[in-house]
Chains A and B, each alone.
Chain A
Protein backbone atom coordinates (compact mmCIF):
# COMPACT_ATOMS: atom_id res chain seq x y z
CA UNK A 1 0.00 0.00 0.00
CA UNK A 2 2.70 2.42 1.10
CA UNK A 3 4.88 1.44 -1.84
CA UNK A 4 2.05 1.84 -4.26
CA UNK A 5 1.34 5.40 -3.21
CA UNK A 6 5.03 6.21 -3.37
CA UNK A 7 5.14 4.78 -6.89
CA UNK A 8 2.05 6.62 -8.02
CA UNK A 9 2.55 9.91 -6.17
CA UNK A 10 6.29 10.39 -6.50
CA UNK A 11 8.12 8.09 -8.85
CA UNK A 12 5.67 8.14 -11.73
CA UNK A 13 5.24 11.92 -12.19
CA UNK A 14 8.87 12.76 -11.46
CA UNK A 15 10.11 9.88 -13.63
CA UNK A 16 7.88 10.91 -16.51
CA UNK A 17 9.18 14.47 -16.47
CA UNK A 18 12.76 13.19 -16.19
CA UNK A 19 12.34 10.89 -19.19
CA UNK A 20 10.80 13.70 -21.22
CA UNK A 21 13.71 15.99 -20.34
CA UNK A 22 16.31 13.39 -21.29
CA UNK A 23 14.53 12.71 -24.59
CA UNK A 24 14.36 16.43 -25.32
CA UNK A 25 18.03 16.74 -24.44
CA UNK A 26 18.97 14.05 -26.97
CA UNK A 27 16.89 15.74 -29.67
CA UNK A 28 18.64 19.05 -29.09
CA UNK A 29 22.04 17.36 -28.90
CA UNK A 30 21.43 16.02 -32.38
CA UNK A 31 20.07 19.28 -33.75
CA UNK A 32 22.86 21.42 -32.27
CA UNK A 33 25.75 19.10 -33.01
CA UNK A 34 24.70 18.08 -36.55
CA UNK A 35 25.99 21.24 -38.35
CA UNK A 36 29.56 20.46 -37.20
CA UNK A 37 29.35 16.96 -38.73
CA UNK A 38 27.91 18.35 -41.98
CA UNK A 39 30.69 20.97 -42.19
CA UNK A 40 33.35 18.35 -41.57
CA UNK A 41 31.89 16.14 -44.29
CA UNK A 42 31.57 19.08 -46.68
CA UNK A 43 35.22 20.07 -46.13
CA UNK A 44 36.26 16.51 -46.93
CA UNK A 45 34.11 16.67 -50.05
CA UNK A 46 31.81 13.89 -48.89
CA UNK A 47 28.08 13.71 -48.54
CA UNK A 48 26.76 12.38 -45.29
CA UNK A 49 23.32 10.89 -44.54
CA UNK A 50 21.28 11.53 -41.42
CA UNK A 51 21.75 7.98 -40.20
CA UNK A 52 25.51 8.52 -40.37
CA UNK A 53 25.29 11.88 -38.59
CA UNK A 54 23.12 10.61 -35.75
CA UNK A 55 25.69 8.47 -33.84
CA UNK A 56 28.46 11.03 -34.50
CA UNK A 57 26.48 13.88 -32.88
CA UNK A 58 26.54 11.94 -29.64
CA UNK A 59 30.22 11.18 -29.59
CA UNK A 60 31.92 14.49 -30.36
CA UNK A 61 34.89 15.56 -28.28
CA UNK A 62 33.72 19.18 -27.97
CA UNK A 63 30.04 19.16 -28.75
CA UNK A 64 27.92 22.31 -28.62
CA UNK A 65 25.59 20.33 -26.39
CA UNK A 66 26.97 17.07 -25.06
CA UNK A 67 24.57 14.14 -24.96
CA UNK A 68 23.42 13.02 -21.51
CA UNK A 69 25.42 9.80 -21.58
CA UNK A 70 28.61 11.75 -22.38
CA UNK A 71 28.07 13.98 -19.37
CA UNK A 72 27.39 11.05 -17.09
CA UNK A 73 30.37 9.13 -18.45
CA UNK A 74 32.52 12.17 -17.63
CA UNK A 75 30.92 12.43 -14.19
CA UNK A 76 31.57 8.74 -13.53
CA UNK A 77 35.14 9.00 -14.82
CA UNK A 78 36.03 12.05 -12.73
CA UNK A 79 34.41 10.86 -9.52
CA UNK A 80 34.80 7.10 -9.34
CA UNK A 81 37.86 6.48 -11.50
CA UNK A 82 40.08 9.21 -10.02
CA UNK A 83 41.63 9.35 -6.58
CA UNK A 84 39.82 12.05 -4.64
CA UNK A 85 43.12 13.80 -3.95
CA UNK A 86 43.80 14.13 -7.67
CA UNK A 87 43.30 17.51 -9.29
CA UNK A 88 41.39 15.74 -12.03
CA UNK A 89 38.86 14.40 -9.56
CA UNK A 90 35.54 16.21 -9.50
CA UNK A 91 35.10 15.12 -5.89
CA UNK A 92 38.27 17.04 -5.01
CA UNK A 93 36.96 20.17 -6.72
CA UNK A 94 33.52 19.75 -5.23
CA UNK A 95 35.05 19.52 -1.75
CA UNK A 96 37.02 22.76 -2.31
CA UNK A 97 33.80 24.54 -3.24
CA UNK A 98 31.80 22.81 -0.54
CA UNK A 99 34.18 23.86 2.24
CA UNK A 100 33.94 27.51 1.18
CA UNK A 101 30.15 27.11 0.89
CA UNK A 102 29.77 25.66 4.37
CA UNK A 103 32.03 28.26 5.99
CA UNK A 104 30.24 31.09 4.18
CA UNK A 105 26.85 29.61 5.00
CA UNK A 106 27.70 29.30 8.69
CA UNK A 107 28.96 32.87 8.84
CA UNK A 108 25.97 34.12 6.84
CA UNK A 109 23.51 32.31 9.09
CA UNK A 110 25.12 33.66 12.27
CA UNK A 111 25.38 37.18 10.85
CA UNK A 112 21.77 37.04 9.62
CA UNK A 113 20.46 35.83 12.97
CA UNK A 114 22.41 38.46 14.91
CA UNK A 115 21.21 41.25 12.63
CA UNK A 116 17.62 40.03 12.93
CA UNK A 117 17.86 39.95 16.73
CA UNK A 118 19.18 43.52 16.66
CA UNK A 119 16.49 44.70 14.27
CA UNK A 120 13.68 43.13 16.32
CA UNK A 121 14.90 44.47 19.67
CA UNK A 122 16.23 47.88 18.75
CA UNK A 123 14.19 50.61 17.09
CA UNK A 124 17.23 52.45 15.80
CA UNK A 125 18.56 49.30 14.15
CA UNK A 126 15.13 48.53 12.75
CA UNK A 127 14.95 51.93 11.07
CA UNK A 128 18.55 52.23 9.93
CA UNK A 129 19.66 48.73 9.03
CA UNK A 130 16.94 47.13 6.96
CA UNK A 131 17.26 49.47 3.92
CA UNK A 132 21.00 48.73 3.79
CA UNK A 133 20.41 45.01 4.06
CA UNK A 134 18.09 45.21 1.07
CA UNK A 135 20.40 47.57 -0.84
CA UNK A 136 23.28 45.11 -0.39
CA UNK A 137 21.40 42.59 -2.49
CA UNK A 138 20.76 44.97 -5.37
CA UNK A 139 24.45 44.94 -6.30
CA UNK A 140 25.13 42.11 -8.74
CA UNK A 141 27.34 39.54 -7.05
CA UNK A 142 29.32 39.11 -10.27
CA UNK A 143 30.34 42.77 -10.03
CA UNK A 144 31.30 42.77 -6.39
CA UNK A 145 32.97 39.35 -6.17
CA UNK A 146 36.22 40.31 -7.97
CA UNK A 147 36.54 43.44 -5.80
CA UNK A 148 36.23 41.40 -2.62
CA UNK A 149 38.85 38.97 -3.87
CA UNK A 150 41.25 41.74 -4.93
CA UNK A 151 40.81 43.84 -1.79
CA UNK A 152 41.19 40.86 0.54
CA UNK A 153 44.21 39.66 -1.39
CA UNK A 154 45.78 43.08 -0.91
CA UNK A 155 45.45 42.75 2.86
CA UNK A 156 46.86 39.24 2.74
CA UNK A 157 43.68 37.17 2.96
CA UNK A 158 43.40 34.55 0.26
CA UNK A 159 42.28 30.99 -0.26
CA UNK A 160 39.10 29.83 1.43
CA UNK A 161 38.11 33.01 3.24
CA UNK A 162 37.40 35.40 0.33
CA UNK A 163 35.14 32.80 -1.32
CA UNK A 164 33.40 32.13 1.97
CA UNK A 165 32.83 35.84 2.43
CA UNK A 166 31.09 36.07 -0.92
CA UNK A 167 28.88 33.19 0.19
CA UNK A 168 28.23 35.06 3.42
CA UNK A 169 27.35 38.20 1.51
CA UNK A 170 24.66 36.31 -0.36
CA UNK A 171 23.40 34.01 2.34
CA UNK A 172 22.91 36.39 5.26
CA UNK A 173 20.11 38.17 3.41
CA UNK A 174 17.37 35.50 3.41
CA UNK A 175 18.26 34.71 7.02
CA UNK A 176 17.82 38.34 8.13
CA UNK A 177 14.52 38.72 6.32
CA UNK A 178 13.18 35.34 7.48
CA UNK A 179 14.31 35.74 11.07
CA UNK A 180 12.96 39.27 11.46
CA UNK A 181 9.61 37.87 10.40
CA UNK A 182 10.06 34.77 12.57
CA UNK A 183 11.08 36.64 15.72
CA UNK A 184 8.06 38.88 15.25
CA UNK A 185 5.72 35.95 14.62
CA UNK A 186 4.50 35.37 18.23
CA UNK A 187 0.90 36.52 18.68
CA UNK A 188 0.10 39.49 20.90
CA UNK A 189 -1.60 37.17 23.39
CA UNK A 190 1.60 35.11 23.75
CA UNK A 191 3.62 38.30 24.31
CA UNK A 192 1.03 39.60 26.80
CA UNK A 193 1.44 36.35 28.71
CA UNK A 194 5.17 37.01 29.07
CA UNK A 195 4.37 40.55 30.19
CA UNK A 196 2.08 39.28 32.97
CA UNK A 197 4.97 37.11 34.22
CA UNK A 198 7.21 40.19 34.23
CA UNK A 199 9.60 38.28 31.96
CA UNK A 200 12.80 40.03 30.89
CA UNK A 201 13.41 40.65 27.16
CA UNK A 202 16.05 37.91 27.26
CA UNK A 203 13.55 35.43 28.71
CA UNK A 204 10.91 36.44 26.19
CA UNK A 205 13.49 35.88 23.46
CA UNK A 206 14.66 32.51 24.69
CA UNK A 207 11.31 31.03 25.61
CA UNK A 208 9.05 32.62 23.00
CA UNK A 209 10.59 34.50 20.08
CA UNK A 210 13.38 32.03 19.33
CA UNK A 211 11.28 28.82 19.32
CA UNK A 212 8.50 30.59 17.42
CA UNK A 213 10.97 31.58 14.71
CA UNK A 214 12.25 28.06 13.96
CA UNK A 215 10.04 27.33 10.90
CA UNK A 216 11.07 30.70 9.43
CA UNK A 217 14.73 30.05 10.19
CA UNK A 218 14.84 26.74 8.36
CA UNK A 219 12.95 28.03 5.36
CA UNK A 220 15.52 30.84 5.12
CA UNK A 221 18.41 28.45 5.63
CA UNK A 222 17.27 26.32 2.68
CA UNK A 223 17.48 29.36 0.41
CA UNK A 224 20.70 30.53 2.07
CA UNK A 225 22.57 27.26 1.66
CA UNK A 226 21.74 27.07 -2.04
CA UNK A 227 22.91 30.61 -2.74
CA UNK A 228 25.99 30.04 -0.58
CA UNK A 229 27.05 27.49 -3.15
CA UNK A 230 26.42 29.98 -5.94
CA UNK A 231 28.50 32.51 -4.03
CA UNK A 232 31.41 30.09 -3.60
CA UNK A 233 31.36 29.17 -7.31
CA UNK A 234 31.22 32.82 -8.35
CA UNK A 235 34.06 33.50 -5.92
CA UNK A 236 36.19 30.91 -7.69
CA UNK A 237 35.83 32.49 -11.12
CA UNK A 238 38.07 35.57 -10.65
CA UNK A 239 40.76 33.79 -8.61
CA UNK A 240 42.49 32.54 -11.73
CA UNK A 241 40.70 29.23 -11.57
CA UNK A 242 42.96 27.13 -9.39
CA UNK A 243 40.56 24.65 -7.88
CA UNK A 244 36.88 24.18 -7.20
CA UNK A 245 33.76 23.70 -9.28
CA UNK A 246 33.96 27.31 -10.44
CA UNK A 247 37.49 26.68 -11.64
CA UNK A 248 36.31 23.61 -13.53
CA UNK A 249 33.61 25.67 -15.21
CA UNK A 250 36.07 28.40 -16.12
CA UNK A 251 38.78 26.01 -17.36
CA UNK A 252 36.20 24.11 -19.34
CA UNK A 253 35.05 27.25 -21.09
CA UNK A 254 38.65 28.36 -21.77
CA UNK A 255 39.42 25.14 -23.58
CA UNK A 256 35.99 24.47 -25.05
CA UNK A 257 35.58 21.38 -22.85
CA UNK A 258 31.80 21.44 -22.89
CA UNK A 259 31.52 17.95 -21.46
CA UNK A 260 33.63 19.05 -18.48
CA UNK A 261 31.46 22.15 -18.00
CA UNK A 262 28.30 20.12 -18.00
CA UNK A 263 29.78 17.58 -15.63
CA UNK A 264 30.80 20.34 -13.22
CA UNK A 265 27.35 21.84 -13.58
CA UNK A 266 25.66 18.60 -12.63
CA UNK A 267 28.05 18.16 -9.75
CA UNK A 268 27.15 21.64 -8.49
CA UNK A 269 23.45 20.87 -8.81
CA UNK A 270 23.96 17.60 -6.96
CA UNK A 271 25.87 19.30 -4.14
CA UNK A 272 23.17 21.98 -3.89
CA UNK A 273 20.46 19.33 -3.72
CA UNK A 274 22.34 17.51 -0.97
CA UNK A 275 22.80 20.72 1.03
CA UNK A 276 19.15 21.69 0.75
CA UNK A 277 18.12 18.16 1.66
CA UNK A 278 20.45 18.22 4.69
CA UNK A 279 18.84 21.46 5.91
CA UNK A 280 15.45 19.86 5.29
CA UNK A 281 16.39 16.85 7.43
CA UNK A 282 17.64 19.16 10.21
CA UNK A 283 14.36 21.07 9.96
CA UNK A 284 12.38 17.85 10.30
CA UNK A 285 14.38 16.78 13.36
CA UNK A 286 13.97 20.13 15.08
CA UNK A 287 10.24 20.24 14.38
CA UNK A 288 9.89 16.72 15.72
CA UNK A 289 11.68 17.71 18.91
CA UNK A 290 9.34 20.69 19.16
CA UNK A 291 6.33 18.39 19.10
CA UNK A 292 4.99 19.07 15.62
CA UNK A 293 2.30 16.63 14.61
CA UNK A 294 3.64 13.74 12.61
Chain B
Protein backbone atom coordinates (compact mmCIF):
# COMPACT_ATOMS: atom_id res chain seq x y z
CA UNK B 1 0.00 0.00 0.00
CA UNK B 2 1.84 3.11 -1.17
CA UNK B 3 -1.14 5.47 -0.80
CA UNK B 4 -0.82 5.43 2.99
CA UNK B 5 0.97 8.78 3.10
CA UNK B 6 -2.17 10.86 2.53
CA UNK B 7 -4.10 9.18 5.34
CA UNK B 8 -4.92 11.44 8.29
CA UNK B 9 -4.19 10.44 11.89
CA UNK B 10 -6.37 7.49 12.81
CA UNK B 11 -8.24 9.03 15.74
CA UNK B 12 -11.24 10.01 13.60
CA UNK B 13 -12.71 6.86 12.11
CA UNK B 14 -15.57 8.61 10.37
CA UNK B 15 -15.48 12.29 9.61
CA UNK B 16 -18.30 14.06 7.74
CA UNK B 17 -18.54 17.73 6.83
CA UNK B 18 -21.54 19.38 5.21
CA UNK B 19 -22.62 15.96 4.03
CA UNK B 20 -25.80 15.83 1.94
CA UNK B 21 -27.60 13.28 -0.18
CA UNK B 22 -30.51 14.00 -2.47
CA UNK B 23 -32.35 11.15 -4.15
CA UNK B 24 -33.85 11.92 -7.53
CA UNK B 25 -37.26 10.27 -7.57
CA UNK B 26 -40.20 10.38 -9.93
CA UNK B 27 -41.93 12.78 -7.52
CA UNK B 28 -38.97 15.15 -7.54
CA UNK B 29 -35.83 15.32 -5.39
CA UNK B 30 -35.90 13.97 -1.83
CA UNK B 31 -33.44 15.39 0.70
CA UNK B 32 -32.37 12.29 2.61
CA UNK B 33 -29.49 14.09 4.33
CA UNK B 34 -28.47 17.73 4.60
CA UNK B 35 -25.53 19.45 6.27
CA UNK B 36 -24.33 16.60 8.43
CA UNK B 37 -21.14 17.47 10.35
CA UNK B 38 -20.01 14.61 12.50
CA UNK B 39 -16.89 12.89 13.73
CA UNK B 40 -16.79 9.38 15.10
CA UNK B 41 -13.65 8.72 17.11
CA UNK B 42 -11.82 5.45 17.48
CA UNK B 43 -13.46 3.16 20.00
CA UNK B 44 -16.70 5.18 20.11
CA UNK B 45 -20.12 3.57 20.28
CA UNK B 46 -22.31 6.03 18.42
CA UNK B 47 -26.05 5.56 18.07
CA UNK B 48 -28.15 7.27 15.45
CA UNK B 49 -31.72 7.74 16.53
CA UNK B 50 -34.71 9.32 14.87
CA UNK B 51 -38.02 8.50 13.22
CA UNK B 52 -38.16 6.84 9.82
CA UNK B 53 -37.08 9.14 7.02
CA UNK B 54 -34.53 11.01 9.14
CA UNK B 55 -31.64 9.63 7.12
CA UNK B 56 -29.99 7.55 9.83
CA UNK B 57 -29.80 4.44 7.68
CA UNK B 58 -28.80 6.55 4.67
CA UNK B 59 -25.90 7.99 6.65
CA UNK B 60 -24.75 4.50 7.58
CA UNK B 61 -25.02 3.41 3.95
CA UNK B 62 -22.93 6.43 2.88
CA UNK B 63 -20.19 5.38 5.33
CA UNK B 64 -20.40 1.89 3.83
CA UNK B 65 -20.23 3.20 0.24
CA UNK B 66 -23.64 1.69 -0.46
CA UNK B 67 -24.87 5.21 -1.35
CA UNK B 68 -22.93 8.12 -2.86
CA UNK B 69 -23.31 11.54 -1.20
CA UNK B 70 -24.32 14.43 -3.43
CA UNK B 71 -22.84 17.20 -1.26
CA UNK B 72 -20.08 17.69 1.29
CA UNK B 73 -17.22 15.38 2.19
CA UNK B 74 -16.82 12.23 4.22
CA UNK B 75 -13.80 10.16 5.10
CA UNK B 76 -13.61 6.69 6.62
CA UNK B 77 -10.26 5.90 8.21
CA UNK B 78 -9.01 9.00 6.40
CA UNK B 79 -9.98 7.58 3.00
CA UNK B 80 -13.00 7.94 0.77
CA UNK B 81 -15.73 5.43 1.66
CA UNK B 82 -15.01 3.56 -1.58
CA UNK B 83 -11.31 3.14 -0.76
CA UNK B 84 -12.23 2.10 2.76
CA UNK B 85 -14.70 -0.46 1.45
CA UNK B 86 -12.12 -1.86 -0.94
CA UNK B 87 -9.75 -2.26 2.01
CA UNK B 88 -12.54 -4.00 3.93
CA UNK B 89 -12.47 -1.37 6.65
CA UNK B 90 -15.87 -2.18 8.11
CA UNK B 91 -18.31 -4.98 8.85
CA UNK B 92 -21.96 -4.26 8.12
CA UNK B 93 -24.88 -5.78 10.01
CA UNK B 94 -28.20 -5.34 8.23
CA UNK B 95 -31.70 -5.03 9.62
CA UNK B 96 -32.33 -8.64 8.61
CA UNK B 97 -29.74 -11.32 9.23
CA UNK B 98 -29.41 -11.89 5.45
CA UNK B 99 -27.75 -15.26 6.01
CA UNK B 100 -27.50 -17.34 2.86
CA UNK B 101 -30.00 -20.16 3.45
CA UNK B 102 -27.95 -22.77 1.57
CA UNK B 103 -24.94 -22.26 3.83
CA UNK B 104 -24.51 -23.55 7.36
CA UNK B 105 -23.85 -20.97 10.06
CA UNK B 106 -20.10 -21.57 9.95
CA UNK B 107 -20.14 -21.38 6.15
CA UNK B 108 -22.06 -18.11 6.37
CA UNK B 109 -19.47 -16.68 8.72
CA UNK B 110 -16.72 -17.96 6.43
CA UNK B 111 -18.30 -16.21 3.42
CA UNK B 112 -16.37 -12.92 3.75
CA UNK B 113 -13.22 -14.90 4.56
CA UNK B 114 -13.59 -16.96 1.37
CA UNK B 115 -14.06 -13.80 -0.65
CA UNK B 116 -11.07 -12.12 0.96
CA UNK B 117 -8.93 -15.16 0.24
CA UNK B 118 -8.10 -16.47 3.70
CA UNK B 119 -6.71 -20.00 3.90
CA UNK B 120 -8.92 -22.89 4.99
CA UNK B 121 -7.12 -23.19 8.33
CA UNK B 122 -7.37 -19.46 8.94
CA UNK B 123 -11.08 -19.55 8.06
CA UNK B 124 -11.71 -22.36 10.51
CA UNK B 125 -9.88 -20.60 13.33
CA UNK B 126 -11.66 -17.30 12.76
CA UNK B 127 -15.08 -18.92 12.46
CA UNK B 128 -14.55 -20.71 15.75
CA UNK B 129 -13.36 -17.55 17.46
CA UNK B 130 -16.25 -15.38 16.25
CA UNK B 131 -18.83 -18.08 17.02
CA UNK B 132 -17.48 -18.01 20.57
CA UNK B 133 -17.65 -14.24 20.61
CA UNK B 134 -21.39 -14.21 19.92
CA UNK B 135 -22.10 -17.28 22.10
CA UNK B 136 -23.02 -19.54 19.21
CA UNK B 137 -20.35 -22.19 19.74
CA UNK B 138 -21.76 -25.58 18.76
CA UNK B 139 -24.24 -24.14 16.27
CA UNK B 140 -21.81 -23.91 13.36
CA UNK B 141 -23.19 -26.93 11.53
CA UNK B 142 -26.80 -25.77 11.70
CA UNK B 143 -28.60 -24.13 8.83
CA UNK B 144 -30.09 -20.66 9.36
CA UNK B 145 -33.68 -21.93 9.42
CA UNK B 146 -32.82 -24.16 12.36
CA UNK B 147 -31.99 -21.09 14.49
CA UNK B 148 -34.22 -18.52 16.18
CA UNK B 149 -34.33 -14.93 14.90
CA UNK B 150 -32.05 -13.72 17.68
CA UNK B 151 -29.50 -16.43 17.01
CA UNK B 152 -29.61 -15.66 13.28
CA UNK B 153 -28.88 -12.02 13.99
CA UNK B 154 -26.00 -13.03 16.27
CA UNK B 155 -24.64 -15.18 13.45
CA UNK B 156 -24.82 -12.18 11.14
CA UNK B 157 -22.86 -10.14 13.71
CA UNK B 158 -20.29 -12.93 13.85
CA UNK B 159 -20.05 -12.75 10.06
CA UNK B 160 -19.36 -9.00 10.27
CA UNK B 161 -16.71 -9.58 12.94
CA UNK B 162 -14.98 -12.48 11.22
CA UNK B 163 -12.56 -10.46 9.11
CA UNK B 164 -11.46 -8.16 11.94
CA UNK B 165 -12.55 -4.80 10.58
CA UNK B 166 -12.16 -2.13 13.27
CA UNK B 167 -15.43 -0.46 12.36
CA UNK B 168 -18.79 -2.12 12.83
CA UNK B 169 -21.83 -0.57 11.11
CA UNK B 170 -25.14 -1.85 12.48
CA UNK B 171 -28.45 -0.88 10.92
CA UNK B 172 -31.26 -1.60 13.40
CA UNK B 173 -29.89 -5.09 13.91
CA UNK B 174 -32.32 -5.93 16.70
CA UNK B 175 -35.34 -4.06 15.33
CA UNK B 176 -37.25 -7.19 14.38
CA UNK B 177 -36.67 -9.02 17.66
CA UNK B 178 -38.81 -9.08 20.79
CA UNK B 179 -37.78 -7.00 23.78
CA UNK B 180 -36.48 -9.85 25.93
CA UNK B 181 -34.16 -11.09 23.20
CA UNK B 182 -33.21 -7.52 22.39
CA UNK B 183 -32.18 -6.77 26.01
CA UNK B 184 -30.08 -9.88 26.05
CA UNK B 185 -28.38 -9.06 22.77
CA UNK B 186 -27.76 -5.45 23.84
CA UNK B 187 -25.95 -6.71 26.92
CA UNK B 188 -23.90 -9.12 24.84
CA UNK B 189 -23.10 -6.43 22.30
CA UNK B 190 -21.70 -4.16 25.01
CA UNK B 191 -19.50 -6.96 26.31
CA UNK B 192 -18.33 -7.68 22.81
CA UNK B 193 -17.56 -4.03 22.23
CA UNK B 194 -15.56 -3.86 25.47
CA UNK B 195 -13.63 -6.99 24.54
CA UNK B 196 -12.85 -6.13 20.92
CA UNK B 197 -12.40 -2.37 21.27
CA UNK B 198 -14.13 -1.73 17.96
CA UNK B 199 -15.75 1.46 16.76
CA UNK B 200 -19.50 0.92 16.38
CA UNK B 201 -22.08 2.99 14.52
CA UNK B 202 -25.51 1.79 15.51
CA UNK B 203 -28.83 2.83 13.99
CA UNK B 204 -31.92 2.41 16.13
CA UNK B 205 -35.32 3.90 16.78
CA UNK B 206 -35.42 2.82 20.39
CA UNK B 207 -34.48 5.44 22.98
CA UNK B 208 -33.59 2.97 25.79
CA UNK B 209 -31.45 0.95 23.39
CA UNK B 210 -29.58 4.04 22.21
CA UNK B 211 -28.95 5.30 25.74
CA UNK B 212 -27.99 1.91 27.11
CA UNK B 213 -25.43 1.16 24.39
CA UNK B 214 -23.86 4.43 23.38
CA UNK B 215 -21.02 6.68 24.36
CA UNK B 216 -22.64 9.21 22.05
CA UNK B 217 -26.17 9.59 20.75
CA UNK B 218 -26.85 11.40 17.50
CA UNK B 219 -30.45 12.61 17.35
CA UNK B 220 -31.77 13.04 13.83
CA UNK B 221 -34.90 14.49 12.34
CA UNK B 222 -36.68 14.06 8.99
CA UNK B 223 -37.67 16.32 6.06
CA UNK B 224 -34.92 17.09 5.37
CA UNK B 225 -32.83 14.44 7.14
CA UNK B 226 -30.45 16.22 9.51
CA UNK B 227 -28.66 16.02 12.86
CA UNK B 228 -30.50 17.98 15.55
CA UNK B 229 -28.52 17.06 18.66
CA UNK B 230 -25.44 15.12 19.72
CA UNK B 231 -25.55 13.86 23.29
CA UNK B 232 -22.45 12.64 25.12
CA UNK B 233 -23.32 9.85 27.51
CA UNK B 234 -22.15 10.22 31.09
CA UNK B 235 -22.81 6.57 31.90
CA UNK B 236 -19.82 4.44 32.91
CA UNK B 237 -18.40 1.94 30.44
CA UNK B 238 -19.51 -0.94 32.67
CA UNK B 239 -23.30 -1.12 32.24
CA UNK B 240 -25.42 -3.84 33.81
CA UNK B 241 -29.01 -4.02 32.49
CA UNK B 242 -30.20 -2.50 35.79
CA UNK B 243 -28.52 0.79 34.92
CA UNK B 244 -31.61 1.60 32.91
CA UNK B 245 -33.52 2.39 36.10
CA UNK B 246 -30.95 4.87 37.44
CA UNK B 247 -31.74 8.61 37.42
CA UNK B 248 -28.66 9.25 35.30
CA UNK B 249 -29.95 6.92 32.58
CA UNK B 250 -33.43 8.44 32.68
CA UNK B 251 -31.91 11.91 32.47
CA UNK B 252 -30.10 11.06 29.25
CA UNK B 253 -33.20 9.32 27.87
CA UNK B 254 -35.15 12.50 28.65
CA UNK B 255 -32.63 14.61 26.74
CA UNK B 256 -32.91 12.30 23.74
CA UNK B 257 -36.69 12.53 23.86
CA UNK B 258 -36.47 16.33 24.08
CA UNK B 259 -34.09 16.32 21.13
CA UNK B 260 -36.51 14.25 19.08
CA UNK B 261 -39.37 16.57 20.03
CA UNK B 262 -37.36 19.66 19.10
CA UNK B 263 -36.87 18.13 15.67
CA UNK B 264 -40.67 17.89 15.35
CA UNK B 265 -40.23 14.18 15.06
CA UNK B 266 -43.37 13.39 16.99
CA UNK B 267 -45.75 15.69 15.15
CA UNK B 268 -45.85 14.63 11.53
CA UNK B 269 -45.40 11.05 12.48
CA UNK B 270 -48.54 9.12 11.66
A interface residues, Cβ below 8 angstroms from B: 187, 189-190, 192-199, 203, 207-208, 211-212, 214, 290-291, 293
Q: A192-B66, A291-B103 are in contact. Are A198 and B88 (CB under 8 A)?
A: yes
- Looking at the assembled complex, report how far the CB atom of A216 sits from the nearest CB atom of chain B, in whole angstroms: 13
Q: A187-B98, A192-B94 are in contact. Are A197 and B116 (CB under 8 A)?
A: yes
Q: What are 19 contact pairs spanning A and B, CB under 8 A?
A: A189-B95, A189-B96, A192-B94, A193-B98, A195-B65, A196-B64, A196-B85, A197-B88, A197-B116, A198-B88, A198-B115, A199-B115, A207-B111, A207-B115, A211-B100, A214-B102, A290-B102, A291-B102, A293-B143
Chain A residues lying within 8 Å of B88, measured Cβ to Cβ, are: 197-198
B145 within 8 A of A: yes
Is B115 in contact with A203, judged by CB distance below 8 angstroms?
yes
B interface residues, Cβ below 8 angstroms from A: 64-66, 85-86, 88, 90-92, 94-96, 98, 100-104, 111-112, 114-116, 143, 145
Is B94 in contact with A189, judged by CB distance below 8 angstroms?
yes
CA distance A290 to B90 in the complex (A): 29
CA distance A154 to B230 in the complex (A): 81
Is A196 in contact with B66, judged by CB distance below 8 angstroms?
yes
- Looking at the assembled complex, report how far the CB atom of B120 sits from the nearest CB atom of chain A, in whole angstroms: 16
Chain A residues lying within 8 Å of B85, measured Cβ to Cβ, are: 195-196, 198
Is B103 in contact with A197, judged by CB distance below 8 angstroms?
no
| CB contact between B100 and one of A195, A197, A208 (< 8 Å): that residue | A208
CA distance A212 to B116 in the complex (A): 21
Q: A193-B92, A198-B85 are in contact. Are A211 and B102 (CB under 8 A)?
A: yes
Is B98 in contact with A190, judged by CB distance below 8 angstroms?
yes
Chain B residues lying within 8 Å of A194, measured Cβ to Cβ, are: 115
CA distance A207 to B112 in the complex (A): 10
| CB contact between B92 and one of A196, A203, A207 (< 8 Å): that residue | A196
CA distance A285 to B95 in the complex (A): 32
Q: Which residue of A lies closest to B113 (CB)?
A: A197
- Looking at the assembled complex, report how far the CB atom of A189 sits from the nearest CB atom of chain B, in whole angstroms: 5
- Looking at the assembled complex, report how far the CB atom of B198 sits from the nearest CB atom of chain A, in whole angstroms: 16
Is B112 in contact with A197, judged by CB distance below 8 angstroms?
yes
Is A291 in contact with B112, judged by CB distance below 8 angstroms?
no
Q: Which residue of B lies closest to A198 (CB)?
A: B86
- Looking at the assembled complex, report how far the CB atom of B102 sits from the nearest CB atom of chain A, in whole angstroms: 4
- Looking at the assembled complex, report how far the CB atom of A47 sits from the nearest CB atom of chain B, in whole angstroms: 74
Is B94 in contact with A193, judged by CB distance below 8 angstroms?
yes
CA distance A199 to B145 in the complex (A): 25
Chain B residues lying within 8 Å of A189, measured Cβ to Cβ, are: 94-96, 98
Is A291 in contact with B104, judged by CB distance below 8 angstroms?
yes
Q: A190-B98, A198-B86, A207-B111 are in contact. List 10 more A-B contacts (CB 8 A).
A: A189-B96, A195-B85, A196-B85, A196-B90, A197-B115, A207-B114, A207-B115, A214-B102, A290-B101, A291-B101
CA distance A198 to B116 in the complex (A): 9
With most chain B CB atoms within 10 A of its CB, the pick from A187, A189, A291, A293 is: A291
With most chain A CB atoms within 10 A of its CB, the pick from B66, B91, B100 is: B100
Closest 5 CB pairs of A and B: A290-B102, A291-B143, A196-B92, A189-B98, A197-B115
Chain B residues lying within 8 Å of A211, measured Cβ to Cβ, are: 100, 102
Q: Which residue of A lies closest to B112 (CB)?
A: A197
Q: Which residue of A lies closest to B84 (CB)?
A: A198
Chain A residues lying within 8 Å of B66, measured Cβ to Cβ, are: 192, 195-196
- Looking at the assembled complex, report how far the CB atom of A61 sits from the nearest CB atom of chain B, in whole angstroms: 58
CA distance A187 to B115 in the complex (A): 19
CA distance A195 to B169 in the complex (A): 14
With most chain A CB atoms within 10 A of its CB, the pick from B101, B102, B103 is: B102
With most chain A CB atoms within 10 A of its CB, the pick from B88, B91, B98, B103 is: B98
Chain B residues lying within 8 Å of A187, measured Cβ to Cβ, are: 98
Chain A residues lying within 8 Å of B92, measured Cβ to Cβ, are: 192-193, 196
CA distance A176 to B42 in the complex (A): 50
- Looking at the assembled complex, report how far the CB atom of A5 sits from the nearest CB atom of chain B, in whole angstroms: 25
CA distance A291 to B112 in the complex (A): 20
Chain B residues lying within 8 Å of A214, measured Cβ to Cβ, are: 102
Q: Which residue of A lies closest to B169 (CB)?
A: A196
CA distance A211 to B96 in the complex (A): 20
- Looking at the assembled complex, report how far the CB atom of B100 sits from the nearest CB atom of chain A, in whole angstroms: 7
Q: Which residue of A lies closest to B145 (CB)?
A: A293
CA distance A195 to B85 in the complex (A): 8
Q: Which residue of B lies closest to A211 (CB)?
A: B102
Chain A residues lying within 8 Å of B100, measured Cβ to Cβ, are: 190, 207-208, 211-212
Q: Which residue of B lies closest to A214 (CB)?
A: B102
CA distance A154 to B85 in the complex (A): 58
